[in-house]
Each structure stands twice: as C-alpha cells, then as structure tokens.
Amino acid sequence: MAAPAGKKILIVEDEKDILDLVKLYLEKEGYRTATATTGVEGLKLAKTEHPDLVILDLMLTGIDGLEVCKRIRADPQTALLPVIMLTAKAEESDVVVGLELGADDYITKPFSPKALTARVKALLRRLERKPDDAPRLSYGALAMDLTRHEVTVDGHDIPLTAKEFGLLEHLLRHPGRVLTRDVLLNAVWGYDYYGTTRTVDVHVRRLKQKIPLLDDAIVSVKSLGYKLKDAGPSS
Ligand code: CA
C-alpha cells in the first residue's frame, strides 16, 4: 500500500526526537512533510504549507495542542484540515476534549511506525472529499440530486428551501468532519451575509424536522458547530 503521491503532512511537536521519528516514518512511506516545534508556528504553516493532514502533539509549550486544534477548526482557510492528535497515555482524558474540539483521530505515544502510517492513511482515505462536480450525494436512505435540486428519502421527495439544501449539501460533502457555525455560515450564506451563527442552528433544526434520519446523524459539537456522523461503508 503506497502513500497517495505527494500528500503533505504537517508535524507539530516540540520534542525533537519524536518529531524526527515521525518525519522519518512518514517520509519512508512516501509522504512529504513540514515541521513545526510550537503551536504558533504550526498554525502559520497550516496556512502557508497547504498540508493535507496535521499530526499535532497535545503537550506543546506556549499554546497547547487543544488550542491549536480549536484555532485550525475556527479558521475557514484550515477548517477542513484533518488533524491527528499525538498524546501520551496519561493524557487520555484530554483526548476526549481534543476530539470535541475537532481532532479527527489520535495516536498514543509510544507508537509503532506501522500504527502511525496506518492511521494517517486511513484518515486521508476516510476524509477524501466528494468532488465538487459530483451530481449526486447520498447518506443511507437519503439521496440528493444536485442537478435537479431534489432531495429524496426512500424515494419520497423532501421539499427544502435553497439554504436548507445548501446546508445539507455541505454536510454531505464533509461527513465525519466538525464544521463550525462560521464555516457553515460562510459556505452556505456567503462571507458578506449579514446575520448571526444562530441562523445555522435554526436551519439545522429545520433539516432535522423535515428529515428525521438526520436527527441522530447530525450531532452538535460542544462550542464549535456540527458534524454529520460517518454513514459507514455502505454509502
Ligand atoms: Ca510535547
């Protein structure tokens, strides 16, 4: 299993030994890497290096990994960047917080090269974006036809407003991702929309009312926004 050609991984870790080790493992698998030793530098490189994924140590001096993760998710430019947290065994309660703040996965130190690269590969595959020109999206019994602007559940038409449709489309294109209210607002209503993030909550609620299967599928992520649960291998 070769690494997807040219994928770039940003590694943020303040312990030089671990940083070098992770870099070595990933480069051996064919990934390109960029490295940072502080959270501030990591945030900067997350924008300038255009990485495909970030490996983020939890315990950093200055701003820690949790804060870095939160800022990555809050910035529209990096909001969809996959993040794997690196943690020590003793920090496992922080992992829960990390996942709530939008990390996609975590690896506990010490780790084997195989475990590390397997997690990276799995996450990149799982989060592969649906192409923008895909004419149809689906989620279990729900089907969205973008050409005809139609949504059906088990073949029955569900009338949606333009914004509800846009919101659902954005969620379906990014299953498993934490999407902040700001990111959703910008994606669906546009940057110059003169409204509040409350608008997003109202529309999510309406989507759930109109499409009951979304009631469990769209989960609210504490203080951040929403996530559409992964639908599983069948979709
Ligand atoms: Ca550290």
Question: Domain end: 106, 127, 148, which one?
Answer: 127
User: Could you read off the pLDDT of 109-164 as tens digits, one per residue?
Assistant: 888 888 999 999 988 887 776 666 778 999 999 999 998 899 999 999 999 998 99
Measured in angstroms, how far is the CA atom of residue 106 from the centroid of ligand 1?
A: 14
Ligand 1: centre distance to CA 197 (Å): 34
Return the bridge partners of 32, or none. Answer: 8
Distance 162 CA to ligand 1 centre (A): 46
Ligand 1 mean position, distance from CA 136 (Å): 43
In the reported structure, the alpha carbon of residue 109 is separated from the centroid of ligand 1 by a whole-number distance in angstroms of: 10
What's the CA-to-centroid distance between 67 and ligand 1, angstroms?
14
Q: Quick one: DSSP state of residue 183?
A: H
Say what the pTM is. 0.75
How high is the pLDDT of residue 144? Answer: 95
CATH of the domain at 162: 1.10.10.10
Ranges of residues in the chain whose predicted pLDDT is under 50:
1, 233-235
State in Å: Cα 92 to ligand 1 middle: 14
**Which helix (DSSP H) or strand (DSSP E) does residue 148 occupy?**
none
From the CA of 13, how far away is ligand 1's center (Å)? 6
The reply to whether 234 falls in a domain is no
Q: Please tell me the distance between residue 46's alpha carbon and the centre of ligand 1 in angstroms.
A: 18
**DSSP sequence for 19-60:** HHHHHHHHHHTT-EEEEESSHHHHHHHHHHS--SEEEEES--
Same domain flag for 144 and 117:
no
Whether 60 and 161 share a structural domain: no
Cα of 89 from ligand 1 centre, angstroms? 13
Do 42 and 115 lie in one domain? The reply is yes
**Domain end residue (candidates: 103, 127, 151):** 127
Q: Is residue 233 part of a domain?
A: no
Which of 65, 100, 127 lies at the terminal end of a domain, its last residue?
Answer: 127
pLDDT of 5 reads 63
Same domain, residue pair 106 and 143:
no
At residue 157, φ and ψ (nearest 5 deg) are: -65, 135
| Ligand 1: centre distance to CA 214 (Å) | 39
> Within a domain: residue 3?
no
143 and 108, same structural domain?
no
pLDDT at res. 233: 46
Residue 146, burial from CB neighbour count under 10 angstroms (0-12, 13-18, 19+): middle
The 10 Å Cβ neighbour count of residue 39 is: 23
Q: How far is the CA of 31 from the centre of ligand 1 (A)?
A: 22
- Is there a single domain that holds both residue 25 and residue 110? yes
Find all residues with CB under 8 Å of 127, minimum gap 6, and list them: 82, 104, 174, 176, 177
19 CA to middle of ligand 1, Å?
9
* Number of domains the chain is built from: 2
Q: Tell me, yes or no, whether 20 and 45 share the same domain.
A: yes
Same domain (yes/no): 85, 65: yes
Q: Are residues 142 and 193 in the same domain?
A: yes
Same domain, 123 and 146: no
- Check whether residue 114 and residue 12 sit in a common domain: yes
CA dihedral for 168, 172, 174, 176, sign (positive or negative):
positive
- Kindly report the CATH number assigned to the domain that includes residue 23: 3.40.50.2300
- Rounded to the nearest angstrom, the distance between the alpha carbon of 171 and the centre of ligand 1 is 33
How close is the Cα of 15 to the center of ligand 1, in Å?
5
Residue 213: give the domain boundaries.
136-228
